[in-house]
Structure 1
């Protein structure tokens, strides 16, 4: 199954049949390789509202397209991103992250269309959220603002901030954030063509400012000094914009990160747990 946004038109291709909902959309996220899709309107000729997330079950039988709608989430501001797992759906607005729980039956085959409200919100950043990721168990959410200097990790159950990671001091656009399979590491790519790798399981591996050895400093400088910097980073050739993800580990002492760039090139880098 393949879900594609082509010229902002929502198309779903499944083996021998395909369905096309005429109209532009801004977001489309598939729940693994299933029949469930989360759709947000937008673009030149919006099919749906930009303030609503519609969960669409393409396996449902019905003459009216509305028969395939199983859940709807409506907000007061435009939805910027959507991510789904079998048990959770995360929806990102300008300054807030909403975390919802799916019903016990993930295929939602018996769920009637309706609206829901988030069990809680996470006040992640002061400026607009630009990038969001969820680890495989769904227990930790990582987010970055449009400023792009910090990545913050939150516990999705308690809403507590777990750690704050510093990408840099100058503004940058983050294109991608991803967790490793065991949530031991996190990678992030920027518009500068740089991919940063942070340690999560053992945060002592992350670099820190040399000023941290000075001792107690002022509150403003202290936020900078206490920051955790990436344990490793690499720049793709020609500093192209790219997305990144962790590859399959071939050894306990060797990890890999894969970067796919806008120029169509594929890069693979390996690193050891200590950042070499």
Structure 2
């Protein structure tokens, strides 16, 4: 999921109105949209997204000033932070223990960070670094890539392969799909005519959505084949700067936000035989007539007529603010979340059956939440850090006992060379005397599915939500 950057690293909208200083520089949802991370001028904050009525600040840090990037790994204790004061250095924290696990320095400023349970990918302007997230060993460096000042890239959050997508041409919308697990290229997709603006994988890593800087057309491709599956038109009157693409947990819907006041939601659904019989209205008849007529028209006109429109929309109260959006289920109901640059989290209700206009149900001022929770820190922080020891050494971090009630997983310690090859970056952390012990593996154990299979967390489809509520 694309985070919204509000500082100097993020692209600005030159035509948008000036936005007052808000005190935070970036916002990002974690992989399953259960928490929201904020980077501020004094540190970073983590908010829980399990309740629409209240926004609980579960952690706040003031040790890293001017945070420009912050990403959390699911609901684990691992948080990745990049400060605007030292943009070439990546910090990895275990926030429940209040300690820094390690840090890495890179030859140029870090533009973006993507992570899942297998890989951590660091994006520089002209290179990508692929790490093994278990021990932060550097596995591969992709050098001499086309200039990517926005740090545009996407990493699949789950599945057997860690697919990585990034621009492969600076002047067109061509993109490269790379297997970060096997460390090998997969396919090249000519997605758009103009340069790319946003990329996003669905939860199962079977589809990839893309948008160009023109901002009028969103396309969805099959992975790993690279075949175009869907094409949606966001609008025709104006070009916009699309800042975020995000799939719903079940992959049936795709939301997109930009520097305009409208958030669009598209439905990714093919009409099967039964659905075609049901779609016998006058509107569907006209649509089929247009589709048939489009085969006799020039290709550009035919493509425009075959593009689908938004299934649902949401209107933001403010215009011109960069934002990030996500579709999720909170308290058993489908929700659209939009975090904007002006320091607000908007929560909308979404009808997956009828679509239409999404209604604003809750508004949370993030800065007010920060002030109301100035005393919030997890108990492990104060117990582990102790007075006068705000940043323990890495060796001390590894020796800390696991949190109560959690079974620690023993992992191989960080090696001296970090797995680096000649000429690549060397980590700047201390060496641990013994193996590293992290609690995080027990924080997302395999979950038993309804059909008895063991696997990762299975999200209910929006259509199943109503049935789930009756259980």
Alpha-carbon distance in structure 1 between the residues aligned to 2:306 and 2:165? 30
Alpha-carbon distance in structure 1 between the residues aligned to 2:209 and 2:181? 24
Contact kept, 8 Å, 1:139 with 1:157, in 2: the verdict is yes
Structure 1 equivalent of residue 222 of structure 2? 155
Tell me: CA distance 1:59–1:76, structure 2 relative to 1, closer, same or farther (3 Å): closer
Alpha-carbon distance in structure 1 between the residues aligned to 2:198 and 2:138? 27
How far 1:11 sits from its partner (Å)?
2.3
How far 1:17 sits from its partner (Å)?
2.3
Structure 1 equivalent of residue 190 of structure 2? 123
Contact kept, 8 Å, 2:114 with 2:120, in 1: the verdict is yes
Kindly indicate which of the two structures has a greater share of residues assigned to strand. Answer: 1
Verify: 1:21 aligned to 2:104, yes or no: yes
Structure 1 equivalent of residue 207 of structure 2? 140
List alignment gaps of at least 5 residues for structure 2: 1-77, 357-471
Please say which structure displays the higher CA radius of gyration: 2
Verify: 1:171 aligned to 2:171, yes or no: no
* Structure possessing the higher relative contact order (Cα contacts under 8 Å, 6 or more residues apart): 2
The CA RMSD measured in Å over matched residues stands at 2.8
Aligned to 1:267, which of 335, 338, 346?
346
How big is each residue's C-alpha offset from its partner over 1:201-253, in whole Å with a ceiling of 9 and x where there is no partner? Answer: 35789x99x887566253233322222110111121122332110121655xx
Alpha-carbon distance in structure 2 between the residues aligned to 1:76 and 1:245? 29
How far 1:27 sits from its partner (Å)?
2.0
Alpha-carbon distance in structure 1 between the residues aligned to 2:184 and 2:270? 36
Tell me: CA distance 1:92–1:58, structure 2 relative to 1, closer, same or farther (3 Å): closer
Alpha-carbon distance in structure 1 between the residues aligned to 2:128 and 2:144? 9
Alpha-carbon distance in structure 2 between the residues aligned to 1:185 and 1:143? 14
How far 1:275 sits from its partner (Å)?
1.0
> Which secondary structure state, in structure 2, belongs to the residue aligned with residue 175 of structure 1?
strand
TM-score (norm 1): 0.78
Kindly indicate which of the two structures has a greater share of residues assigned to helix. Answer: 2
1:84-103 map, 5 Å? 84-85=155-156, 86=158, 87-93=161-167, 94=170, 95-103=173-181
How big is each residue's C-alpha offset from its partner over 1:114-138, in whole Å with a ceiling of 9 and x where there is no partner? Answer: xx54122111111111100000110
Verify: 1:54 aligned to 2:129, yes or no: yes
Contact kept, 8 Å, 2:130 with 2:180, in 1: the verdict is no
Aligned to 1:184, which of 252, 258, 261?
252
How big is each residue's C-alpha offset from its partner over 1:173-225, in whole Å with a ceiling of 9 and x where there is no partner? Answer: 111000001111110001113210111135789x99x8875662532333222
How far 1:76 sits from its partner (Å)?
4.0
Contact kept, 8 Å, 1:179 with 1:187, in 2: the verdict is yes
Structure 2 equivalent of residue 193 of structure 1? 261
Alpha-carbon distance in structure 1 between the residues aligned to 2:329 and 2:242? 23
Alpha-carbon distance in structure 2 between the residues aligned to 1:58 and 1:89? 15
1:32-71 map, 5 Å? 32=117, 36-42=119-125, 50=126, 52-57=127-132, 60=135, 68-71=137-140
Structure 2 equivalent of residue 243 of structure 1? 324
Give the paired residue count: 245
Tell me: CA distance 1:232–1:58, structure 2 relative to 1, closer, same or farther (3 Å): closer
> Which secondary structure state, in structure 2, belongs to the residue aligned with residue 257 of structure 1?
strand
Aligned to 2:147, which of 65, 78, 99?
78
Contact kept, 8 Å, 2:207 with 2:223, in 1: the verdict is yes
Contact kept, 8 Å, 1:184 with 1:202, in 2: the verdict is no
